[in-house]
A and B are shown apart, each in its own frame.
Chain A
Amino acid sequence: MLEMFTILHDNGMLFLMGQYPQGPLGGILCTLLISVLAVLFALPVGVLLGLARLSPFRWLSWPAACWVYGLRGIPLLMVVFWTYFCVPLLIGHNISGFSTMLCTLVIYESAYIAEIVRGGIQALPGGQYEAARALGMSYFKTLRLIILPQALYNTLPSLVSQLVSIIKDSTLGYVINVPELTFAANQVNNQLLTKPFQVFAIVAIGYYLICFSLTWLANKLEARITRKRQNRVPEADNVAQAMLLTKTQSQ
């Protein structure tokens, strides 16, 4: 345990930000940056993809289905390699490992998010859509005001799981030399040589803290929405008081 602190003390900056400012930004900050960006892009792309899957127009739903089925059937590592080796051939110049990994994560994870969102939308009663349209709302207004607020809230637990797994999947950036946390840890490990357990325990704790903070944030958000949607009426206070009363009586 003490050794872990020593390692952290000696290599703290490497764990935190890699070679920065001499080299590219790395370590935990790189992992955080790539995760936040991937989540920010993958969520809207996934929602759009999920909507496209439900579209009555084939030219929209078929490509979306191919995207989802295709990527779901391939390991992420293969997609990483593919993007890393093929995209430079296609566009004629190199792109950084960071952008490669970010794009790959967005493309890959949005396929999963799309299916979660699609499930959420399909689980809503059809009457919600009909009622909104009957009031004169356009398709997009219906989505924005009626369908998505309900579907995304209902699927929040699955969505959070998926977003957490985006963070964890950013580890694979290691194989294409993205200097993120795992990469930094490996550098440290190669210097120390004899303390792999301690080094990788630090990495595990680092990932756990990042992932857990996202879970914690999502729980806060969920609780807040739930409170807003259920407890804001005066009647609810009466009910709570009544329950309290019976409790004290039974005691």
Chain B
Amino acid sequence: MRPVILFNQVNKWYGEYQALTDLSAEIKSGEVVVVCGPSGSGKSTLIRTVNRLEPIEEGQILFDGIDIHGTSTRLNQLRTRIGFVFQNFNLFPHVSVLENIMMSPVKVLGVKRQEARQHAGELLERVGLSHKANAYPAQLSGGQQQRVAIARALAMKPPVMLFDEPTSALDPEMVGEVLNVMRGLAREGMTMMCVTHEMNFAREVADTIWFMDQGKILEKSTPENFFTRPQHARAQKFLSDLHHN
């Protein structure tokens, strides 16, 4: 089966600093990949290259066979098929929760408002926030905002969802509600790529774990293998540091 996302010899620099080095990997349809690793290892950079929020200098990233960084790629159309959830939620503060979710289906895909409103209502129900439809983002807690952000990404009905540290900006007691929504998505067979520090979530939900350091994927394995028998010395150190905290 053709992979949904394929990284092929990707190199990226920030000036002199090489952020990604000869990185090759693939994500299959329905697979949940969790990317972990120490700070500054290039996890966020990697996930942001998938919908071209960050450019790459060398190599290829294919989404469903389309070269994302190709010059003739219709980027806006491509992005409607890749859901992206940010660390800082980035909800639009000047419109209501419902409008946040409806806006891109209506304005980008041309869905009728009536239809978009109904779908948005269903999504809100799914993330447990039906009662907040008319609230504004500033009136929600961090966890609620992130759940709305997930609903907003889902409103485009993307086949793939990317999560860039979705729980890192949350108070500890709100992490669970966001992870629960993500668990539900994974169970329904959504193809997901998550950068996260939530190791319990990774262990439970991931099909594959990528361990990154210094712009390279050092280890790709199942959660069971990764947490019980890490192969790479850096991964062993990372995990033992986790346990000591």
Contacts and interface: CB of A to CB of B under 8 A. Distances in A.
Interface of A: 125, 127-128, 130-138, 141, 145-146, 149-150, 153, 229-230, 232-236
Most buried by A among B53, B88, B90, B156: B90
B211 interface: no
B108 interface: yes
Contacts of A137: 76, 104, 107-108
Contacts of A232: 96, 134, 136
B92 to A, nearest CB: 6
A141 B94 contact: no
B86 interface: yes
A136 B76 contact: yes
B70 interface: no
B188 to A, nearest CB: 21
23 contacts: A127-B88, A131-B86, A131-B91, A131-B92, A133-B53, A133-B76, A134-B53, A134-B79, A135-B108, A136-B77, A136-B79, A136-B108, A136-B109, A141-B107, A145-B107, A146-B92, A149-B94, A150-B92, A153-B94, A229-B93, A233-B135, A233-B136, A235-B135
Please list the 6 inter-chain residue pairs (A to B) with the smallest Cβ-Cβ separation, ordered nearest first: A136-B80, A131-B90, A127-B90, A135-B104, A134-B84, A136-B79
Interface in B62-103: 76-80, 82, 84, 86, 88, 90-94, 96, 103
Given A136-B108, A136-B156, A125 B79 contact: no
A147 to B, nearest CB: 10
Contacts of B84: 131, 134-135
Nearest to A128: B90
Nearest to A153: B94
A145 B103 CA distance: 9
B108 A134 contact: no
A229 B136 contact: yes
Interface of B: 51, 53, 76-80, 82, 84, 86, 88, 90-94, 96, 103-104, 107-109, 134-136, 138-139, 152-153, 156
Nearest to B92: A146
Nearest to A134: B84
A226 to B, nearest CB: 11
Contacts of A130: 53, 86, 90
Given A128-B92, A232-B134, 18 more contacts: A131-B86, A131-B91, A134-B79, A135-B108, A135-B156, A136-B76, A136-B104, A136-B156, A137-B76, A145-B107, A146-B92, A150-B93, A229-B93, A229-B94, A233-B134, A233-B135, A233-B139, A236-B139
Contacts of A135: 79-80, 84, 103-104, 108, 152-153, 156
Contacts of B92: 128, 131-132, 146, 150
A24 B124 CA distance: 62
A125 B90 contact: yes
Most buried by A among B76, B88, B139, B156: B76
A125 B88 CA distance: 10
Contacts of A234: 134
Contacts of A233: 134-136, 139
A136 B103 CA distance: 11
A232 B99 CA distance: 13
B181 to A, nearest CB: 18
